[in-house]
Amino acid sequence: MPDDNNRPQQGRKLDLAVRSALWLGSLKGRRDEQPKGQLVDVLVAKGRIVALVPAGSLEVRAAREVDARGFLLLPSLTDVHVHLREPGQEYKEDIASGLRAAAFGGFGNIMCMANTRPVNDTASVTEFMLEQARASWPGGPRLFPIGALTKGLQGQELAPLSELRDAGCKAFSNDGRPMESTELLRRAMEYSQDLKRVVIDHCEDPWLAPAAGVNEGEVSSRLGLTGQPDIAEAIQAARDVLLAEYLGAPVHLAHISCAKSVAVIRAAKERGVDVTAETCPHYLTLTEDEVAGYSANAKVNPPLRPRADVEALLEALADGTIDMLATDHAPHAAHEKDVEFDAAPCGISGLDTALAVTWELVRTEKLSFVAFVRAWTTAPCSRFGLPLNGFAPGDPADFVLFDQEAHWVVGPQTMRSKGKNTPLLGRTLRGLVRAHFLAGKSVLDKDTAEA
Amino acid sequence: MTTRPKRGSPARANVGPERKDAAMQWKHKDLLDVSQLSADEVRHVLATAAYFREINSRPVKKVPTLKGRSVVLFFAEPSTRTKTSFDMAGKRLSADTFALAKSGSSLSKGETLKDTALTLQAMNPDGIVIRHGSSGAAQFLAERLECSVINAGDGRHAHPTQALLDALTLSRRWKGEFSGKTVLILGDIAHSRVARSNVLLLTMLGANVRLCAPRTLLPPRPDTWPVAVYSELPQAVQGVDAVMCLRLQLERQQAGLLPGLREYARTFGLSPRHMALAAPGACVLHPGPINRGVEIDSALADSAESLILEQVENGVAVRMALLYLYLTRKSPDAAQSGIPA
C-alpha cells in the first residue's frame, strides 16, 4: 500500500503516469470493505510503482502520460491454473494465443499445467515453454510452468522434480489425472517440500465415474448421463488434507467445485493444516442446469454443481476458506466439442471471460472488492511466489484499466483464446480490459486508453 | 372399362387415417422424447396408429401414403426389432427406406456423428430414424439437420417410439382409460431409456408408476421422478394393473452392480407367483429381447397375460403413424398425394 515516506522526490524521472483511474482500495492506511472509490494517479519508474496518489495531487510529468478516463484500476490478475496445450496440441491453443487471451483478460501471471504432449516432466520441456513465451511476446504476460508430479503423468514414478524446479517450475501437479496411489502422493509431497514447492492436487476419486463431466443428480438422471457425485472430489480432498497434516507439508487443491470439499478444507484450516484451495469462475456462476440441452460446452471436470454448491463456494471465497480464483482455462477446438455429449472432451475456455464474470460478483455484492483482489492476486502470488503488485512503492507496475460499463458479447471474434468452448457463448458480459500494463509497459495493441 | 376414378374410391379414402380432430396440425419437426408431446398429441398418435393397425390386418398391407419419400434408418447400435419395425412401417407406407449400420459405415472409420449426419442430409432424405449409444445423440442430429429426426433410442435417455407402442398396447387393453391404473416398471431402470420414456408418458396419460429394482440399478435421485420406488418385488407388484419388465444386460454383473444373474432372477425375476398378487386381469409387457428365466419366467412370457407379441405388432403401427405425421407435416404436396387434410 502507498506510503507517504516513499513519495516521489521532485526531479526524479517518471517513465509513466496513468491519470485519473478509479481506485476502490485503501489509500494512506484507510481500509474500507466496500469503498466508493476515488480517482488516483499511478506513477511508475523503471517498471515499478513509485506511488499511488490522489488524482492531480502531484505536479510531476512523466515520459509517458496516459489518461485513464475514470476506468477502474486493478492489479493484474494471476491465474494459477491454465492449460496452454503447447507443445503438442497447438490446434487447441498455443503459448502465443494463450498469452494474448491472458493479456486481454487482465492476467499478468499465468501458471500452465503439465499435461502437454510431451508432458512437462523434463527440464527441456519447461525450457521450451519459457522460450516460446519469450519469443512470442517479450514483455507480455509472464508464464510460470507447473511441472509434472509423475513421469508422463502416469502416477507410477516421480518426475525429476529438482530438475524441473531449476528449469523454472513454480509448482508440481498431476492435474487432469488423479493421483491414485496415496503412497506416491505422500512421497511427492515430502520431496516437493524439500524443494520449497507446493503440490497442486486435482481431487478426483479415480473410480467414482471418472471424468463424467456432469454432476450426478437430478439433471444427469433425467438426461440419462453418467454423473459424477460430489463425493468423488471431497473424498480426495479429505485424503489430501490428512496427508498434508500428517506430513506437515503444504498442499494446494485445484478447482474445488462443491460444498462437501469446502467443509473438508474449512475443518482442516481450523486445525492449522497448510492447505490452500482454488475455485473457478464457472463454479461460482453456473449450475448443472447448463448441461440440460446436452451442451458439450458445459461439460467440465469437475462438473458444474447444483445451486447449493454455488452458494457454499461463494461463502467460502468470501471468508477465505477458498483462498483464490483460477480459470482452469481448458481450450478445445470447435470440432472436438461439436460431437455427442459422451464423446466431447471436458473443459471450459476461461481466460477471456474470467474477469468480467467475477467482477459481476463484486458488482452484485456477492463478493467484496477486498476478497476479489485477494483471490486473484495476493493469495495466488504469495502461495506460489509470483510477482505481486500491491501498489506499494517498488511493486511491479502490473495493472489493468477496466471499463466496468462496457458490454460485450462472448463469441469467436471477441475471444482471443483459440478455444471458444464456453457455455457463455452468445451471452453479454459487462466489463472490458481497456489497458493493461506489465512492468509499466502497455501490452495491449492499439485499443488502449492512451491519451 | 372406365379409366375415370370413382368418387370416394377406396384407394383414395384409405391411404391416410381419418382425422377425428381436424384441427390437429402436426407441428413438430423431430421426435426426441415423449416430453415434447402434449397428452392430446399422444392421443392423436395412438388414434392414428389404431388406424394403421387396421391396414396391417389387410391381405395387402401397403398404401401409397409416403410414396416418393425416403427415410434413412441410421442405427449406430445393434438393433433387430426396432430397425425391422421402422423398415416395415416405412415400406407399408410406400416410403423408400435405406439402412445404415455403424459397422460398414464411415462411423467405424472415425467419421464424427456430425459429418455422417451432414453427408446424409446432403442426400435429401425426408426423415432420419436414429439409434445411438450416446444420450442426446438424437437431439444433436435434430439441431443440425433440416429433415425430421426420429429417436429410435439414444443412450439411456429416451425411446419415445417404444413408450408410444407400449401406451397403444395398454390403451387397447384398458379401452383408452389410464387414470386409476398402476404400472410397475421392473428391472434395470438406471440404464433404461425405455423406463425413462415410459415414466414420462404413463404419468402424462394419468397412470401411476412404480419402479422396482435393486438400488444399484436405480437412477440417482429417483425422488425427483414422479414415481413410487420399491426394493422388494412382492410389495411392488401388489394390485398393479400391468408389469413392464426390462431387459437385464448381462454386463451389469461385471460392472459390480449385481452379484450374479441367478441371484437377480431369484429376487427380481417376474413369475406367475408375483402376478397372483397383482390386480385381476393384470398384464405383462417387455420391450424385448427377453432373457427367459432372468427378468421374466419363461412360462409367464408365453402366457395369456403376456402382451409381448402384441407390443411388436403395435410397434409397426405406431411407427407408421409417426412416419406419417412427421413426414407429411406442412407438406406442400400433401393434397396431391391424397392425404386428408
* B224/A221 Cβ within 8 A: yes
B155 touches chain A (CB under 8 A): yes
Cα–Cα distance between B301 and B297 in angstroms, integer? 6
**A220·B133 Cβ contact <8 A:** no
User: How many angstroms separate the CA atoms of B169 and B192, rounded?
Assistant: 19
Catalytic pick from A79, A328, A352, A395?
A: A328
Closest among A395, A388, A397 to A64, alpha carbons compared: A397
Chain A contact for B62 (CB, 8 A cutoff): no
**Confidence band of B118 (pLDDT split at 50, 70, 90):** confident
Q: Kindly tell me if the per-residue pLDDT of A411 is higher than 50.
A: yes
User: Using 50, 70 and 90 to split pLDDT, how confident is the model at A209?
Assistant: confident
A201 carries an active-site annotation: no
Using a CB-CB cut-off of 8 Å, the residues of chain B touching A341 are: 134-136, 140
| Domain covering A76-384 in this structure, CATH number | 3.20.20.140
Looking at the predicted structure, is the pLDDT value of residue B120 above 50?
yes
Distance between CA atoms of residues B295 and B72, nearest Å: 33
Q: With contacts defined as CB-CB under 8 Å, which chain A residues touch B134?
A: 340-343
Same fold, B27-159+314-327 and B160-312: yes
Inter-CA distances, A41 with A36, A106, B196, Å: 17, 19, 63
In this prediction, residue B119 carries a pLDDT of 87
Q: Is B156 near chain A, with CB under 8 Å? A: yes
What pLDDT, in 10s, does the model give residues B158-196?
A: 999 999 999 999 999 999 999 999 999 999 999 999 999
Cβ-Cβ contacts under 8 Å, B140 against chain A: 294, 339-341
Q: Is the pLDDT of residue A32 over 60?
A: no
Residue B252 or B242, more confident: B242
Chain A CB contacts of B149 under 8 Å are none
- Closest Cα partner for A79 from A144, A169, A173, A161? A144
Question: 3-state class of A345 per DSSP?
Answer: coil
CA A341, CA A148: separation in Å to the nearest integer?
Answer: 29
Nearest Cβ partner of B221 from A218, A294, A341? A218
Whether A273 and A199 have beta carbons less than 8 Å apart is answered as no
- Annotation: CATH topology of B27-159+314-327: Rossmann fold (3.40.50)
Output DSSP code: residue B25. -
Where in the sequence of chain A do the CATH 2.30.40.10 domains occur?
A: 4-74+395-442
What is the C-alpha R_g of chain B?
21
- CB atoms < 10 A from the CB of A278, how many? 26
Residue for grid cell 472488492: A369
Q: What is the pLDDT of residues A219-238, one digit of tens each?
A: 999 999 999 999 999 999 99
Q: Point out the residue among B113, B154, B219 whose CB comes nearest to the CB of A221.
A: B219
Query: Which range (A53-62, A350-359, A425-434, B193-202) has the least confidence?
Result: A53-62
pLDDT category at B253 given cuts 50, 70, 90 is: confident
pLDDT band at A31 (very low <50, low <70, confident <90, very high): low
Interface contact flag, B220 A217, Cβ < 8 Å: yes
**Distance from C-alpha of B49 to C-alpha of B319, rounded to nearest angstrom:** 8
Q: CB of B139 within 8 Å of any CB in chain A?
A: yes
**B225 CB near a chain A CB, below 8 Å?**
yes
SS3 A191: helix
Q: Is B203 on the interface with A (CB under 8 A)?
A: no
- Residue A1: pLDDT band with limits 50, 70, 90: very low
Give the count of Cβ contacts less than 8 A between chain A and B. 63
**Which top CATH class is A4-74+395-442?**
mainly beta
Give the largest CA-CA distance in chain A. 71
Is the predicted pLDDT of residue A426 greater than 80, yes or no? yes
Asked if A203 and A237 touch (Cβ cutoff 8 Å), the reply is yes
Q: Ramachandran region of residue B60, left (φ > 0), alpha (ψ -120 to 50) or beta?
A: beta
| B323 close to B52: Cβ distance less than 8 angstroms | no
Distances (CA, A) of B90 to A319, B93, B328: 64, 5, 13
Residue range B133-152: average pLDDT?
A: 95
Average pLDDT of the segment spanning A369-395: 97
Closest CA to B247 of B189, B182, B299: B189
Query: Of B127, B104, B105, which Cα lies nearest the Cα of B115?
Result: B105
Q: Chain A residues contacting B, CB < 8 Å?
A: 216-218, 220-225, 227, 229, 293-294, 335, 338-343
Å between B280 CA and nearest CA of chain A: 33
Here the cell at position A272 is 492449522
The domain limits of chain B are 27-159+314-327, 160-312
The CA distance from B130 to B147, in Å, is: 12
ipTM of model over 0.85: yes
For residue range B303-336, list pLDDT tens digits in order.
999 999 999 999 999 999 999 999 998 644 444 4
For residue A31, which amino acid is it? Answer: R
Look at B250 and B325; give whichever has higher pLDDT.
B325
Exposed, middle or buried, B245 (CB in 10 Å: 0-12/13-18/19+)?
Answer: buried
B98, amino acid identity: F
Give yes or no for B111 touching A (CB within 8 A).
no
Name every residue whose Cβ is closer than 8 Å to that of residue B334 and which is 6 or more positions away in sequence. B328, B341
pTM reported for the whole predicted model: 0.91
Which residue from A minimizes the CA distance to B155? A224
Q: Cβ of B135 and A338 within 8 Å?
A: no
The model's pLDDT over A175-195, given as tens digits with 9 standing for 90+, comes to 989 999 999 999 999 999 999
Look at residue B338 in the predicted model and tell me its pLDDT.
Answer: 41
In this predicted model, what pLDDT tens digit does every residue of A61-73 receive, in sequence order? 999 999 999 999 9
Sheet holding B96-101, edge to edge: B96-101, B70-75, B127-132, B148-154
Whether B132 has its CB under 8 Å from any CB of chain A: the answer is: yes
Q: Which residues pair with A253 in a beta bridge?
A: A201, A277
Across the interface, whether the CB atoms of A229 and B220 are under 8 A apart is answered yes
The answer to whether B113 contacts chain A (CB < 8 Å) is yes
B160-312 folds as: Rossmann fold (3.40.50)
Looking at every residue in chain A, the average pLDDT score rounds to 94
Q: Which of A217, A229, A341 sits opposite B134 (nearest CB)?
A: A341
pLDDT of B109 reads 67
Indicate where chain A has its CATH 3.20.20.140 domain(s): 76-384
Q: How far is B115 from chain A (nearest CA, A)?
A: 10
CA distance B230 to chain A (A): 18
Rg over alpha carbons for chain A, rounded to the nearest Å, is 21
What is the per-residue DSSP string for B93-145?
TT-EEEEEESTTSGGGGT--HHHHHHHHHHT--SEEEEEESSTTHHHHHHHH-
A152: region left, alpha or beta (phi > 0 left; psi from -120 to 50 alpha): left
Report the residue from B112, B135, B221 with minimal CB separation from A225: B135
**Is residue A358 predicted with pLDDT exceeding 60?**
yes
Q: Which three cell numbers stand for residue A256?
A: 474445488
Cross-sheet strand order for the sheet of B283-285: B228-230, B208-212, B182-186, B242-245, B283-285
Assign A396 a pLDDT band (cuts: 50, 70, 90).
very high
Q: What pLDDT, on a 0 to 100 scale, did the predictor assign at position B8?
A: 38
Instruction: State the average pLDDT over residues B296-303.
Output: 96
Residue A159 and residue A184 in contact, taking contact as beta carbons nearer than 8 Å:
no
Residues A380-393: what's their mean pLDDT? 97
